[in-house]
Amino acid sequence: MKQERIKDLFSDWRVLVLIVLLVLSVIAIYPHFDSNGNLTTNLQYGLDFQQGSWIQLEFKAEVVGFTTTEPVDTFVANLSKSLDTDVVQVDANHLEIRKSYTQAELQPYFEAEDGTVVSYQPGISATTADLVKQILVDKINSMGTKDAKVNTITGLNGVTQYVRVEMAGVDMNQAQQIVGKQGKFEIRIQTTGNQTEHVLYGDSITSVAVPSQSPAGSGNWGVGFTLSSDGAATFQNAAITYGATTDPADHKLTMLLDNQSVYSAPLSQALAGSLQSEPTTQLFASTGSGTSGEQQATNLEIQLRAGALPVDVDIAGSGSTSASLGQHYMEMCLIAGILALIMVAFVIFYRYREPRIVLPMVLINASEIVILLGFISVIQFQMDLPTVAGLIAVLGTGIDQLVVITDEILHEGLVPSPNIYLKRLARALTIIVIAAATVLIAMLPLALMDLSTLKGFAIITMMGVIIGVLVTRPAYGRIIMDILSE
Protein backbone atom coordinates (compact mmCIF):
# COMPACT_ATOMS: atom_id res chain seq x y z
CA MET A 1 0.00 0.00 0.00
CA LYS A 2 2.78 2.40 0.93
CA GLN A 3 4.73 1.52 -2.20
CA GLU A 4 1.67 2.30 -4.33
CA ARG A 5 1.27 5.69 -2.66
CA ILE A 6 4.95 6.52 -3.28
CA LYS A 7 4.60 5.38 -6.90
CA ASP A 8 1.49 7.55 -7.35
CA LEU A 9 3.29 10.50 -5.77
CA PHE A 10 6.33 10.33 -8.06
CA SER A 11 4.20 9.73 -11.14
CA ASP A 12 2.20 12.92 -10.52
CA TRP A 13 3.05 15.48 -13.23
CA ARG A 14 3.66 18.27 -10.69
CA VAL A 15 6.26 16.24 -8.83
CA LEU A 16 7.77 14.96 -12.09
CA VAL A 17 8.27 18.51 -13.40
CA LEU A 18 10.06 19.44 -10.17
CA ILE A 19 12.35 16.39 -10.35
CA VAL A 20 13.18 16.92 -14.03
CA LEU A 21 14.02 20.58 -13.46
CA LEU A 22 16.22 19.67 -10.48
CA VAL A 23 18.15 17.11 -12.53
CA LEU A 24 18.59 19.52 -15.45
CA SER A 25 19.69 22.27 -13.06
CA VAL A 26 22.37 20.10 -11.48
CA ILE A 27 23.61 19.19 -14.97
CA ALA A 28 23.71 22.88 -15.93
CA ILE A 29 25.55 23.84 -12.74
CA TYR A 30 27.93 20.88 -13.23
CA PRO A 31 29.71 20.70 -9.88
CA HIS A 32 33.09 18.99 -10.42
CA PHE A 33 36.71 19.02 -9.35
CA ASP A 34 39.23 20.87 -11.50
CA SER A 35 42.81 19.78 -12.25
CA ASN A 36 43.95 21.21 -8.90
CA GLY A 37 41.40 19.22 -6.93
CA ASN A 38 39.20 22.25 -6.17
CA LEU A 39 35.43 22.00 -6.41
CA THR A 40 34.13 24.24 -9.21
CA THR A 41 30.95 24.77 -11.25
CA ASN A 42 29.71 26.35 -14.49
CA LEU A 43 28.43 29.40 -12.60
CA GLN A 44 29.83 32.74 -13.75
CA TYR A 45 31.04 35.13 -11.04
CA GLY A 46 31.14 38.91 -11.22
CA LEU A 47 33.53 41.40 -9.64
CA ASP A 48 32.23 40.77 -6.13
CA PHE A 49 33.57 37.22 -6.14
CA GLN A 50 36.76 37.35 -8.18
CA GLN A 51 39.58 39.68 -9.11
CA GLY A 52 38.58 42.43 -11.50
CA SER A 53 37.98 46.12 -12.09
CA TRP A 54 35.17 48.50 -12.93
CA ILE A 55 35.28 51.88 -14.61
CA GLN A 56 32.47 54.41 -14.91
CA LEU A 57 32.80 56.80 -17.83
CA GLU A 58 31.08 60.17 -18.11
CA PHE A 59 30.10 61.49 -21.52
CA LYS A 60 31.43 64.95 -22.32
CA ALA A 61 28.30 66.06 -24.17
CA GLU A 62 24.84 67.43 -23.53
CA VAL A 63 21.29 67.16 -24.86
CA VAL A 64 19.74 70.60 -25.29
CA GLY A 65 16.15 71.63 -25.90
CA PHE A 66 15.95 74.52 -28.36
CA THR A 67 13.81 76.86 -30.42
CA THR A 68 14.88 78.79 -33.50
CA THR A 69 13.43 81.05 -36.18
CA GLU A 70 15.83 79.63 -38.79
CA PRO A 71 15.38 76.40 -40.79
CA VAL A 72 16.51 73.60 -38.48
CA ASP A 73 19.05 72.12 -40.92
CA THR A 74 20.68 75.51 -41.42
CA PHE A 75 20.62 76.23 -37.70
CA VAL A 76 22.25 72.88 -36.84
CA ALA A 77 24.95 73.27 -39.51
CA ASN A 78 25.84 76.82 -38.39
CA LEU A 79 25.81 75.83 -34.72
CA SER A 80 28.09 72.86 -35.41
CA LYS A 81 30.57 75.15 -37.15
CA SER A 82 30.55 77.80 -34.42
CA LEU A 83 30.84 75.25 -31.58
CA ASP A 84 33.54 73.32 -33.48
CA THR A 85 31.93 69.95 -32.78
CA ASP A 86 29.26 67.58 -34.06
CA VAL A 87 25.69 68.69 -33.38
CA VAL A 88 23.08 65.98 -33.95
CA GLN A 89 19.34 66.54 -34.04
CA VAL A 90 17.70 64.09 -31.60
CA ASP A 91 14.11 65.07 -32.35
CA ALA A 92 12.16 68.14 -33.38
CA ASN A 93 13.02 69.98 -30.15
CA HIS A 94 16.34 68.59 -28.96
CA LEU A 95 19.96 68.62 -30.10
CA GLU A 96 22.89 66.50 -28.98
CA ILE A 97 26.08 68.57 -28.69
CA ARG A 98 29.11 66.29 -28.65
CA LYS A 99 31.39 68.52 -26.64
CA SER A 100 31.35 69.68 -23.03
CA TYR A 101 29.66 73.09 -22.61
CA THR A 102 27.70 74.60 -19.75
CA GLN A 103 24.26 76.07 -20.39
CA ALA A 104 25.64 79.59 -19.86
CA GLU A 105 28.38 78.96 -22.42
CA LEU A 106 25.91 77.65 -24.99
CA GLN A 107 23.39 80.49 -24.78
CA PRO A 108 25.49 83.10 -26.68
CA TYR A 109 26.17 80.60 -29.51
CA PHE A 110 22.46 79.83 -29.82
CA GLU A 111 21.52 83.51 -29.79
CA ALA A 112 24.09 84.25 -32.49
CA GLU A 113 22.33 81.72 -34.75
CA ASP A 114 18.83 83.03 -33.89
CA GLY A 115 18.07 80.26 -31.41
CA THR A 116 17.36 79.82 -27.70
CA VAL A 117 18.32 77.17 -25.15
CA VAL A 118 15.09 75.86 -23.62
CA SER A 119 16.46 72.96 -21.55
CA TYR A 120 19.85 71.50 -20.74
CA GLN A 121 20.88 67.99 -19.62
CA PRO A 122 24.45 66.64 -19.52
CA GLY A 123 24.79 63.36 -21.43
CA ILE A 124 23.90 61.85 -24.78
CA SER A 125 20.76 60.58 -26.49
CA ALA A 126 19.60 56.97 -26.17
CA THR A 127 20.58 56.27 -29.79
CA THR A 128 24.15 57.44 -29.26
CA ALA A 129 24.32 55.57 -25.93
CA ASP A 130 23.37 52.32 -27.68
CA LEU A 131 26.07 52.97 -30.27
CA VAL A 132 28.71 53.63 -27.59
CA LYS A 133 27.67 50.49 -25.70
CA GLN A 134 27.99 48.35 -28.83
CA ILE A 135 31.38 49.84 -29.66
CA LEU A 136 32.68 49.12 -26.15
CA VAL A 137 31.26 45.58 -26.16
CA ASP A 138 32.86 44.83 -29.53
CA LYS A 139 36.15 46.32 -28.41
CA ILE A 140 36.28 44.44 -25.10
CA ASN A 141 35.33 41.16 -26.78
CA SER A 142 38.01 41.66 -29.43
CA MET A 143 40.61 41.99 -26.68
CA GLY A 144 39.68 38.55 -25.38
CA THR A 145 38.43 39.90 -22.04
CA LYS A 146 36.04 37.43 -20.39
CA ASP A 147 33.00 38.11 -18.20
CA ALA A 148 32.77 41.81 -19.11
CA LYS A 149 29.59 43.83 -18.63
CA VAL A 150 28.78 47.20 -20.20
CA ASN A 151 25.77 49.06 -18.79
CA THR A 152 24.60 52.53 -19.73
CA ILE A 153 23.01 54.59 -16.94
CA THR A 154 20.02 56.44 -18.38
CA GLY A 155 17.69 58.84 -16.61
CA LEU A 156 13.90 58.94 -16.86
CA ASN A 157 14.25 61.71 -19.47
CA GLY A 158 16.05 59.30 -21.82
CA VAL A 159 19.44 61.05 -21.52
CA THR A 160 22.46 58.87 -20.74
CA GLN A 161 25.23 60.50 -18.73
CA TYR A 162 27.36 57.50 -17.72
CA VAL A 163 28.42 54.07 -18.92
CA ARG A 164 29.79 51.49 -16.46
CA VAL A 165 32.20 48.78 -17.60
CA GLU A 166 32.93 45.78 -15.36
CA MET A 167 35.74 43.38 -16.26
CA ALA A 168 36.42 40.30 -14.17
CA GLY A 169 40.01 39.07 -14.16
CA VAL A 170 41.41 42.41 -15.37
CA ASP A 171 43.55 44.71 -13.23
CA MET A 172 42.94 48.46 -13.09
CA ASN A 173 45.84 49.45 -15.37
CA GLN A 174 44.70 47.09 -18.10
CA ALA A 175 41.08 48.15 -17.66
CA GLN A 176 41.99 51.82 -18.12
CA GLN A 177 44.03 50.94 -21.19
CA ILE A 178 41.09 49.10 -22.73
CA VAL A 179 38.27 51.57 -22.05
CA GLY A 180 39.53 54.48 -19.97
CA LYS A 181 41.33 56.49 -22.63
CA GLN A 182 38.81 56.91 -25.38
CA GLY A 183 39.29 59.64 -27.91
CA LYS A 184 38.87 60.72 -31.51
CA PHE A 185 40.92 58.93 -34.12
CA GLU A 186 42.29 60.66 -37.21
CA ILE A 187 44.37 59.71 -40.26
CA ARG A 188 46.59 62.39 -41.87
CA ILE A 189 49.09 62.42 -44.77
CA GLN A 190 52.45 64.20 -44.73
CA THR A 191 52.68 66.94 -47.36
CA THR A 192 55.91 68.95 -47.13
CA GLY A 193 58.39 68.85 -44.28
CA ASN A 194 56.52 68.12 -41.07
CA GLN A 195 53.23 69.48 -42.40
CA THR A 196 50.27 67.10 -42.65
CA GLU A 197 46.75 67.24 -44.06
CA HIS A 198 43.61 65.63 -42.71
CA VAL A 199 42.33 62.56 -44.60
CA LEU A 200 39.84 60.60 -42.47
CA TYR A 201 38.30 60.35 -39.01
CA GLY A 202 37.71 57.11 -37.16
CA ASP A 203 34.05 56.88 -38.23
CA SER A 204 35.27 55.88 -41.72
CA ILE A 205 36.74 52.69 -40.24
CA THR A 206 34.02 50.03 -40.38
CA SER A 207 35.92 47.10 -38.86
CA VAL A 208 39.27 46.26 -37.30
CA ALA A 209 40.90 42.82 -37.41
CA VAL A 210 42.92 41.20 -34.65
CA PRO A 211 46.74 41.54 -34.89
CA SER A 212 48.22 39.16 -37.43
CA GLN A 213 51.28 38.68 -39.58
CA SER A 214 51.37 40.32 -42.98
CA PRO A 215 49.40 38.49 -45.69
CA ALA A 216 52.28 39.34 -48.06
CA GLY A 217 54.45 36.78 -46.26
CA SER A 218 57.05 39.21 -44.89
CA GLY A 219 56.54 37.97 -41.32
CA ASN A 220 55.81 41.50 -40.08
CA TRP A 221 53.02 41.98 -37.58
CA GLY A 222 50.26 44.47 -38.12
CA VAL A 223 46.55 45.23 -37.99
CA GLY A 224 44.15 45.01 -40.89
CA PHE A 225 41.19 47.39 -41.02
CA THR A 226 38.36 48.16 -43.41
CA LEU A 227 37.25 51.56 -44.71
CA SER A 228 33.76 52.46 -45.83
CA SER A 229 33.30 53.01 -49.56
CA ASP A 230 33.23 56.80 -49.08
CA GLY A 231 36.26 56.59 -46.82
CA ALA A 232 38.16 54.51 -49.40
CA ALA A 233 37.41 57.07 -52.15
CA THR A 234 38.51 59.95 -49.89
CA PHE A 235 41.70 58.08 -48.96
CA GLN A 236 42.56 57.41 -52.62
CA ASN A 237 41.95 61.02 -53.59
CA ALA A 238 44.13 62.33 -50.75
CA ALA A 239 46.95 59.88 -51.52
CA ILE A 240 47.02 60.99 -55.16
CA THR A 241 46.61 64.70 -54.40
CA TYR A 242 49.45 64.88 -51.88
CA GLY A 243 51.88 62.63 -53.78
CA ALA A 244 51.77 59.57 -51.49
CA THR A 245 51.23 57.25 -54.46
CA THR A 246 54.23 58.50 -56.43
CA ASP A 247 56.62 59.23 -53.54
CA PRO A 248 55.51 57.17 -50.52
CA ALA A 249 58.73 57.66 -48.52
CA ASP A 250 58.24 61.44 -48.27
CA HIS A 251 54.48 61.32 -47.65
CA LYS A 252 53.97 59.13 -44.64
CA LEU A 253 50.60 58.09 -43.35
CA THR A 254 50.08 59.22 -39.73
CA MET A 255 47.42 58.04 -37.31
CA LEU A 256 46.55 60.18 -34.30
CA LEU A 257 44.51 59.58 -31.18
CA ASP A 258 43.55 62.81 -29.42
CA ASN A 259 46.16 64.63 -31.53
CA GLN A 260 48.90 62.24 -30.34
CA SER A 261 50.67 60.18 -33.01
CA VAL A 262 50.14 56.44 -32.51
CA TYR A 263 51.40 55.21 -35.90
CA SER A 264 53.44 56.64 -38.77
CA ALA A 265 54.68 54.83 -41.86
CA PRO A 266 54.81 55.28 -45.65
CA LEU A 267 52.43 53.45 -47.95
CA SER A 268 53.77 50.15 -49.27
CA GLN A 269 54.79 50.14 -52.93
CA ALA A 270 51.99 47.70 -53.74
CA LEU A 271 49.33 49.85 -52.07
CA ALA A 272 50.68 53.05 -53.63
CA GLY A 273 50.53 51.47 -57.09
CA SER A 274 46.99 50.14 -56.67
CA LEU A 275 45.69 53.49 -55.38
CA GLN A 276 46.73 55.13 -58.67
CA SER A 277 43.97 53.24 -60.47
CA GLU A 278 41.27 52.40 -57.90
CA PRO A 279 40.27 52.90 -54.24
CA THR A 280 40.76 50.11 -51.71
CA THR A 281 38.70 49.38 -48.62
CA GLN A 282 41.14 46.84 -47.11
CA LEU A 283 44.27 48.27 -45.46
CA PHE A 284 47.03 46.70 -43.34
CA ALA A 285 49.12 48.79 -40.94
CA SER A 286 52.46 47.01 -40.46
CA THR A 287 54.18 47.40 -37.07
CA GLY A 288 57.33 45.28 -37.46
CA SER A 289 58.48 41.76 -36.66
CA GLY A 290 59.05 39.73 -33.52
CA THR A 291 57.59 40.22 -30.06
CA SER A 292 57.96 44.00 -30.26
CA GLY A 293 56.02 44.15 -33.53
CA GLU A 294 53.28 41.94 -32.10
CA GLN A 295 52.94 44.14 -29.00
CA GLN A 296 52.80 47.30 -31.11
CA ALA A 297 50.11 45.67 -33.26
CA THR A 298 48.06 44.89 -30.15
CA ASN A 299 48.36 48.50 -28.97
CA LEU A 300 47.45 49.81 -32.43
CA GLU A 301 44.34 47.62 -32.47
CA ILE A 302 43.21 49.24 -29.20
CA GLN A 303 43.80 52.70 -30.64
CA LEU A 304 42.04 51.95 -33.92
CA ARG A 305 38.98 50.77 -32.05
CA ALA A 306 39.13 53.72 -29.65
CA GLY A 307 38.56 56.09 -32.55
CA ALA A 308 35.06 54.78 -33.17
CA LEU A 309 33.53 56.45 -30.09
CA PRO A 310 31.36 59.35 -31.22
CA VAL A 311 31.92 61.46 -28.07
CA ASP A 312 34.72 62.10 -25.62
CA VAL A 313 34.57 60.57 -22.15
CA ASP A 314 36.18 61.07 -18.76
CA ILE A 315 36.69 58.51 -16.01
CA ALA A 316 34.07 59.44 -13.40
CA GLY A 317 34.86 56.58 -11.04
CA SER A 318 36.70 53.29 -10.80
CA GLY A 319 37.41 50.46 -8.42
CA SER A 320 38.74 46.94 -8.19
CA THR A 321 38.37 43.73 -6.22
CA SER A 322 41.37 41.62 -5.23
CA ALA A 323 41.31 37.83 -5.58
CA SER A 324 41.51 37.32 -1.80
CA LEU A 325 38.65 39.75 -1.11
CA GLY A 326 36.49 38.10 -3.77
CA GLN A 327 37.13 34.68 -2.21
CA HIS A 328 36.21 36.09 1.21
CA TYR A 329 32.93 37.48 -0.14
CA MET A 330 32.12 34.13 -1.73
CA GLU A 331 32.74 32.23 1.51
CA MET A 332 30.65 34.70 3.53
CA CYS A 333 27.75 34.47 1.06
CA LEU A 334 27.86 30.66 1.16
CA ILE A 335 27.77 30.73 4.97
CA ALA A 336 24.92 33.28 4.90
CA GLY A 337 22.88 31.07 2.57
CA ILE A 338 23.39 27.96 4.69
CA LEU A 339 22.53 29.85 7.91
CA ALA A 340 19.40 31.27 6.28
CA LEU A 341 18.23 27.78 5.34
CA ILE A 342 18.99 26.45 8.84
CA MET A 343 17.13 29.31 10.52
CA VAL A 344 14.15 28.80 8.24
CA ALA A 345 14.09 25.10 9.15
CA PHE A 346 14.32 25.93 12.87
CA VAL A 347 11.43 28.41 12.76
CA ILE A 348 9.25 26.02 10.77
CA PHE A 349 9.96 23.16 13.17
CA TYR A 350 9.13 25.40 16.12
CA ARG A 351 5.79 26.24 14.51
CA TYR A 352 4.63 22.77 13.42
CA ARG A 353 6.67 20.37 15.62
CA GLU A 354 6.22 17.73 12.90
CA PRO A 355 9.34 16.56 10.99
CA ARG A 356 7.20 15.08 8.18
CA ILE A 357 5.93 18.60 7.42
CA VAL A 358 9.16 20.50 8.08
CA LEU A 359 11.43 18.33 5.92
CA PRO A 360 9.41 18.66 2.66
CA MET A 361 9.10 22.41 3.21
CA VAL A 362 12.85 22.85 3.64
CA LEU A 363 13.68 20.56 0.71
CA ILE A 364 11.20 22.32 -1.57
CA ASN A 365 12.68 25.65 -0.50
CA ALA A 366 16.21 24.45 -1.25
CA SER A 367 15.10 23.01 -4.60
CA GLU A 368 14.03 26.48 -5.71
CA ILE A 369 17.57 27.74 -5.12
CA VAL A 370 19.04 24.84 -7.11
CA ILE A 371 16.67 25.48 -10.02
CA LEU A 372 17.49 29.19 -9.92
CA LEU A 373 21.23 28.46 -9.96
CA GLY A 374 20.67 26.18 -12.94
CA PHE A 375 18.82 28.98 -14.72
CA ILE A 376 21.65 31.41 -13.89
CA SER A 377 24.19 28.94 -15.26
CA VAL A 378 22.30 28.39 -18.53
CA ILE A 379 21.94 32.10 -19.34
CA GLN A 380 25.50 32.77 -18.03
CA PHE A 381 24.24 35.45 -15.67
CA GLN A 382 27.03 36.75 -13.45
CA MET A 383 26.73 36.02 -9.74
CA ASP A 384 27.37 39.08 -7.57
CA LEU A 385 26.29 40.29 -4.13
CA PRO A 386 22.86 41.60 -5.27
CA THR A 387 22.23 38.24 -6.98
CA VAL A 388 23.00 36.38 -3.75
CA ALA A 389 20.70 38.80 -1.89
CA GLY A 390 17.98 37.85 -4.38
CA LEU A 391 18.54 34.14 -3.71
CA ILE A 392 18.24 34.69 0.04
CA ALA A 393 15.09 36.77 -0.52
CA VAL A 394 13.65 33.85 -2.51
CA LEU A 395 14.30 31.60 0.50
CA GLY A 396 12.25 33.91 2.70
CA THR A 397 9.35 34.55 0.32
CA GLY A 398 9.28 30.88 -0.67
CA ILE A 399 8.86 29.59 2.86
CA ASP A 400 6.18 32.22 3.50
CA GLN A 401 4.09 30.81 0.67
CA LEU A 402 4.60 27.22 1.82
CA VAL A 403 3.37 28.26 5.27
CA VAL A 404 0.26 29.77 3.63
CA ILE A 405 -0.46 26.46 1.92
CA THR A 406 0.14 24.40 5.09
CA ASP A 407 -1.91 26.67 7.37
CA GLU A 408 -4.77 26.86 4.91
CA ILE A 409 -4.92 23.08 4.63
CA LEU A 410 -4.60 22.54 8.41
CA HIS A 411 -7.29 25.07 9.20
CA GLU A 412 -8.44 24.64 12.84
CA GLY A 413 -5.74 21.96 13.24
CA LEU A 414 -7.78 19.30 11.42
CA VAL A 415 -6.77 17.22 8.39
CA PRO A 416 -9.56 17.80 5.83
CA SER A 417 -11.27 15.33 3.55
CA PRO A 418 -9.98 15.11 -0.05
CA ASN A 419 -12.67 17.40 -1.46
CA ILE A 420 -12.20 20.05 1.22
CA TYR A 421 -8.42 19.65 0.85
CA LEU A 422 -8.58 20.53 -2.85
CA LYS A 423 -10.74 23.57 -2.16
CA ARG A 424 -8.37 24.82 0.53
CA LEU A 425 -5.31 24.19 -1.68
CA ALA A 426 -6.93 26.14 -4.52
CA ARG A 427 -7.67 29.01 -2.14
CA ALA A 428 -4.07 29.00 -0.87
CA LEU A 429 -2.66 28.98 -4.41
CA THR A 430 -4.91 31.92 -5.31
CA ILE A 431 -3.47 33.91 -2.39
CA ILE A 432 0.05 32.95 -3.48
CA VAL A 433 -0.52 33.98 -7.11
CA ILE A 434 -1.81 37.40 -6.01
CA ALA A 435 1.17 37.86 -3.69
CA ALA A 436 3.54 36.78 -6.47
CA ALA A 437 1.99 39.29 -8.85
CA THR A 438 2.63 42.13 -6.41
CA VAL A 439 6.29 41.07 -6.07
CA LEU A 440 6.70 40.97 -9.86
CA ILE A 441 5.17 44.42 -10.23
CA ALA A 442 7.39 45.81 -7.47
CA MET A 443 10.58 44.30 -8.96
CA LEU A 444 9.84 45.19 -12.61
CA PRO A 445 11.11 48.80 -12.44
CA LEU A 446 14.40 47.65 -10.88
CA ALA A 447 14.83 45.04 -13.62
CA LEU A 448 14.11 47.48 -16.46
CA MET A 449 15.83 50.62 -15.22
CA ASP A 450 19.57 51.16 -15.74
CA LEU A 451 20.48 50.44 -12.12
CA SER A 452 23.10 47.82 -12.95
CA THR A 453 23.91 46.98 -9.33
CA LEU A 454 20.25 46.18 -8.54
CA LYS A 455 19.26 44.35 -11.71
CA GLY A 456 20.62 41.05 -10.44
CA PHE A 457 18.55 41.26 -7.27
CA ALA A 458 15.36 42.12 -9.17
CA ILE A 459 15.78 39.49 -11.89
CA ILE A 460 16.57 36.66 -9.47
CA THR A 461 13.68 37.61 -7.17
CA MET A 462 11.28 37.64 -10.12
CA MET A 463 12.54 34.31 -11.45
CA GLY A 464 12.21 32.78 -7.97
CA VAL A 465 8.60 33.92 -7.75
CA ILE A 466 7.80 32.52 -11.22
CA ILE A 467 9.45 29.16 -10.50
CA GLY A 468 7.61 28.99 -7.17
CA VAL A 469 4.18 29.64 -8.65
CA LEU A 470 4.60 27.36 -11.69
CA VAL A 471 6.66 24.49 -10.25
CA THR A 472 7.42 24.20 -6.54
CA ARG A 473 4.14 25.35 -4.97
CA PRO A 474 1.95 22.89 -6.93
CA ALA A 475 4.48 20.10 -6.24
CA TYR A 476 4.48 20.90 -2.52
CA GLY A 477 0.67 20.88 -2.49
CA ARG A 478 0.70 17.36 -3.91
CA ILE A 479 3.43 16.16 -1.53
CA ILE A 480 1.83 17.62 1.61
CA MET A 481 -1.51 16.05 0.63
CA ASP A 482 0.15 12.62 0.57
CA ILE A 483 1.81 13.23 3.96
CA LEU A 484 -1.34 14.50 5.67
CA SER A 485 -3.41 11.64 4.35
CA GLU A 486 -1.54 9.37 6.77
* CATH code of the domain in which 448 resides: 1.20.1640.10
- Quick one: which of 319, 456, 457 has its CA closest to 382? 456
Q: Are residues 129 and 247 in the same domain?
A: no
pLDDT, residue 179, reads 67
- Rounded Cα gap, residues 128 and 131, in angstroms: 5
The per-residue b/e assignment along 298-315, b for 16 or more CB within 10 angstroms, e otherwise, is ebbbbbbbbbbbbbbbee
3-state secondary structure of 252: coil
- The beta-strand segments (E) located in 209-326 are 212-213, 221-227, 253-257, 260-265, 282-288, 313-321
pLDDT, residue 334, reads 86
Q: Cα dihedral angle (15, 17, 23, 26), rounded to 10 degrees? A: -110
The per-residue b/e assignment along 264-278, b for 16 or more CB within 10 angstroms, e otherwise, is eebbbeebbeebeee
Q: How many domains does the chain have?
A: 3
Kindly calculate the radius of gyration of the chain based on its CA atoms and give it in whole angstroms.
31
Q: Are residues 314 and 225 in the same domain?
A: no
Q: Are residues 105 and 169 in the same domain?
A: yes
Say which CATH number the domain at 223 has. 3.30.1360.200
- Quick one: which of 303, 204, 311, 209 has its CA closest to 260? 303
Q: Are residues 172 and 227 in the same domain?
A: no
Q: Are residues 241 and 302 in the same domain?
A: yes
Question: Helix crossing, 13-29 with 2-11: angle to 10°?
Answer: 70
Q: Are residues 90 and 220 in the same domain?
A: no
Q: Are residues 220 and 250 in the same domain?
A: yes
- Rounded Cα gap, residues 53 and 287, in angstroms: 30
End residue of a domain, out of 270, 293, 321? 321
3-state secondary structure of 54: strand
Q: Are residues 267 and 402 in the same domain?
A: no
Both ends of the chain: CA-CA distance in Å? 12
Q: Are residues 236 and 347 in the same domain?
A: no
Domain that holds residue 219: 185-308
End residue of a domain, out of 248, 274, 308? 308
Q: Which residue stretches of the chain have pLDDT < 70?
A: 1-2, 138-139, 141-147, 177-184, 215-218, 258, 302, 305-309, 323, 411-416, 450-453, 485-486
pLDDT, residue 65, reads 92
Residue partners of 4: CB distance under 8 A and separation at least 6? none
Cβ atoms < 10 Å from Cβ of 427: 15
